[in-house]
Structure 1
Amino acid sequence: MIVELSHRIVDGMITYPGIPAPKLGVHLSREASRELYAPGTEFHIGTIALAANTGTYLDTPFHRYADGPDLSQVSLSSLADLPGLVVRGGPGREVTIDEDLDVRGRAVLIHTGWDRHFGTDAYLHGHPYLAPASARWLAEQGVALVGIDSLNLDDTPPHGERPAHSILLKAGIPLVEHMTGLAALPPDGFRFHAAPPMVAGLGTFPVRAYAVVP
């Protein structure tokens, strides 16, 4: 079974406050293409202008650190066919990780249920986030990737500190934010995939995140 873990990208959607919405357009319409191809043959070529932090997206170390690997430099083995582990958040906003878990080499996906608010104003305020101490522990344990179904892996106070991003990306651990569908996954026993295109000089980009569950 394949479980979809990404939000759809649609024209005008808001992913994060202050990030411009994507704009979809047409480079070549089906009607115009009829003049270029044989009778009965037509094509559509679309355009899209979007900020790299749109929808469900991947953060690479370059997003936080100028000398970190970008989208074209992160190993595919760090993004695809990873053994997965789901951590369920509790009633509070701060999510802590059980330190008895075996996380080494695994994609740890934090399920908070906040994705139910995606596309509404409620999604943008008071979201769950990963405890900085747990981010540090995950890095020390050699986690492969960390994902969350919330607005941000960090709390988002006005002063702009991002400890979980700083810790994990410094350790070379990619992140996936704004996930959805984690409620459908078992605690473990699945494989996780979230590979973006190889764009040089960018630190973030949307992904089609999914899990393969036996």
Structure 2
Amino acid sequence: MTRLIDLTYPMDPAFRETVPLPALAAIVGPTVKWYAHKDTGRDMMLELFGCTEDDLPDGEGMAGEVLDDFGTHCGTHVDAPWHSGTTSEGRPARTISDIELSELFVPGMVLDVREWARPGEAIPVHALESAIAATGRAIEPGDAVLIRTGQERFPISDPAYFTYPGMSGAGTRFLADQGAKILGTDAIGWDRPIPVMVEAFRKTGDRAEIWDGHYAIRDREAFIVQQLDNLAALPPTGFTVGFFPLKLIGTSAAPARVVAFVD
């Protein structure tokens, strides 16, 4: 029997109140306009059908919601190569609608790097090598490699959730060069936190400090998935994982339902 394990982090409008930077609000949850059964939803039914409230069961109309002010990178989402630039591997970068669904339903493996993960720091390549060895198999071409940093222990209301361990350009290229096509993390971001990168660049002037994990996709195409959840429920290997993004045309990313299929 196959077990389904949901790896998707919820999106909740209440999460917007927890973010340390206002600009991050749109990546954790939408604003919502609620259409309730006994007010807006009821009034819509009365207008559509020309009926009275007595014609509706218990006087109730339809429920509905209008989502507003949230981005394509909200919640658990898949980044297309277009997010990192107009080219990838010297070719025009693909958008989310250019990616075939078959590319997003692949064998997965979990790299447990909690031993080496430090808040705000990049996960070193040697840690990735050790974590791969611990799974008992090498990365195969097309694999989804999911990085377990341990961020699941923090609720989104905890400031520590936003001072996550990140990936460097070197680490990203290392995984992509091994054949990984999908690069996932339980952190809210793939790179180091933005304030950390900003400080490093201002101190050194080194442009390699700027968003180096994402920019690595310009060299070797891969799809980055951020804000995964529930990686602790997965075995190291032996499962298939499906990343099912919204079918948005021409965008750099899309929110996704991510599900692991474990025999």
TM-score (norm 1): 0.87
- Map 1:125-144 to 2 at 5 A: 125=163, 127-144=164-181
Which residue of 1 is the match for residue 236 of structure 2? Answer: 187
Q: Point out the structure with the larger helix share.
A: 2
Gaps of 5+ in 1: none
Instruction: Specify which of 79, 84, 96 is matched with residue 108 of structure 2.
Output: 84
SS of 1:6's equivalent in the other structure is: coil
Mapped pair 1:53 → 2:73: yes
**Alignment CA distance shift 1:170-1:73 (3 Å):** farther
Number of aligned residue pairs: 212
TM-score (norm 2): 0.72
Which residue of 2 is the match for residue 3 of structure 1? Answer: 5
Which residue of 1 is the match for residue 138 of structure 2? Answer: 102
Mapped pair 1:68 → 2:93: yes
SS of 1:122's equivalent in the other structure is: helix
Task: Give the Cα–Cα distance (whole angstroms) in 2 for the partners of residues 118 and 78 of structure 1.
Answer: 31
RMSD of the alignment, in Å?
2.3
Which residue of 2 is the match for residue 166 of structure 1? Answer: 215
SS of 1:194's equivalent in the other structure is: strand
Instruction: Specify which of 122, 137, 149 is matched with residue 160 of structure 2.
Output: 122
Per-residue CA shift, 1:5-51, capped at 9, x if unaligned? Answer: 11111114246832234201136843224423574384223111112
Which residue of 2 is the match for residue 31 of structure 1? Answer: 42
Which residue of 2 is the match for residue 19 of structure 1? Answer: 24
Native 8 Å contact 1:20 1:51 kept in 2: no
The one-letter code matched in structure 2 to 1:151 is I
Per-residue CA shift, 1:173-214, capped at 9, x if unaligned? Answer: 111111110001000111111121221231122111121111
Native 8 Å contact 2:109 2:236 kept in 1: yes
Task: Give the Cα–Cα distance (whole angstroms) in 2 for the partners of residues 91 and 190 of structure 1.
Answer: 25
Task: Give the Cα–Cα distance (whole angstroms) in 1 for the partners of residues 144 and 31 of structure 2.
Answer: 31
**Alignment CA distance shift 1:62-1:48 (3 Å):** same
Mapped pair 1:176 → 2:225: yes
Task: Give the Cα–Cα distance (whole angstroms) in 1 for the partners of residues 218 and 99 of structure 2.
Answer: 11
Which residue of 2 is the match for residue 211 of structure 1? Answer: 260
Per-residue CA shift, 1:86-115, capped at 9, x if unaligned? Answer: 000123332532265421221000111113
The one-letter code matched in structure 1 to 2:43 is A
The one-letter code matched in structure 2 to 1:52 is T
Task: Give the Cα–Cα distance (whole angstroms) in 2 for the partners of residues 30 and 170 of structure 1.
Answer: 50
* Structure exhibiting the larger radius of gyration computed from Cα positions: 2
